[in-house]
Amino acid sequence: MDLRVLTDEKLLQLLRANNEQAFKEIYTRYWKLIFDAAWHRLGSRETAKELVQTIFLRIWEKRHSIHIIHLQGYLKTAIKNSVVNYIEATMVHKKYLQHVVHTGSATCQGTESALTFHELSQAIEKAIALLPEKTRTVFRLSRFGHLTIREIATSLNISEKAVEYHITQSLKTLRLYLKEYLDIAL
C-alpha cells in the first residue's frame, strides 16, 4: 500500500495501530516543514534537529493516547512551543551564569582560591552536557527556568514521578562530576 496517497487522518489512525510505516510517512511528509520553522527562528541546525526529533519521538511514544485533529497545525504549534521553551530556558540560563559570574567575582576577590567562578560555570555546563537529553531538559526547566515539578510535567507531557526521577538523576551526576569543585569549596 502506498502511504503517500493517504490523508493525515488515515495515517494517524494507522499510527495509533502501531504502524511504523505510517509514522515514517508522517515524518517524511512533515519533518522539513517543522525543521525549517525551527531553524529559521533559532539559526542553529543542530538545535532545530534536536527539537524536531523530540517532537517526533513524543508522537511515537504517545501514539496510543495522543489526540491530533489537524496534524500539520499540531506540528507547527509543537515546534513553535518547543522553540519558545528552548529560547526561554537559554535566556534564563545565561542570566543565571551572568549573575553567578558577577556576584561570584565580587565575593571571591581577595581570596587565594585558584578556582574562579568562570571555571566553575564552565564545569557546570560540561556536567549538564553529560546528562541525557530528557534529563538535561528537566534539569534546565527546574533549576534555570524555576518551574515546579507539576509545571515541568505538564510542559513535557510526562508524569510528576518522571520529573522527580530526572531531577534526582541530574543532581547525582552533577555531584559526581563536580565533586572536586565541591571539595575545594569546602
110-166 pLDDT tens trace: 444 445 666 777 788 888 888 888 998 888 888 877 878 888 888 888 998 998 999
pLDDT bracket for residue 16 (50, 70, 90): very high
The answer, as to whether pTM is greater than 0.75, is no
What is the CATH number for 127?
A: 1.10.10.10
- Structural domain harbouring 11: 3-82
What is the CATH number for 72?
A: 1.10.1740.10
- Structure-model confidence comparison of residues 119 and 22, the more confident one: 22
What pLDDT does residue 123 have?
80
* 125 membership: H or E segment, kind and range: helix 117-130
User: Within 13 Å of residue 26, how many CA atoms lie on the same side as its CB?
Assistant: 28
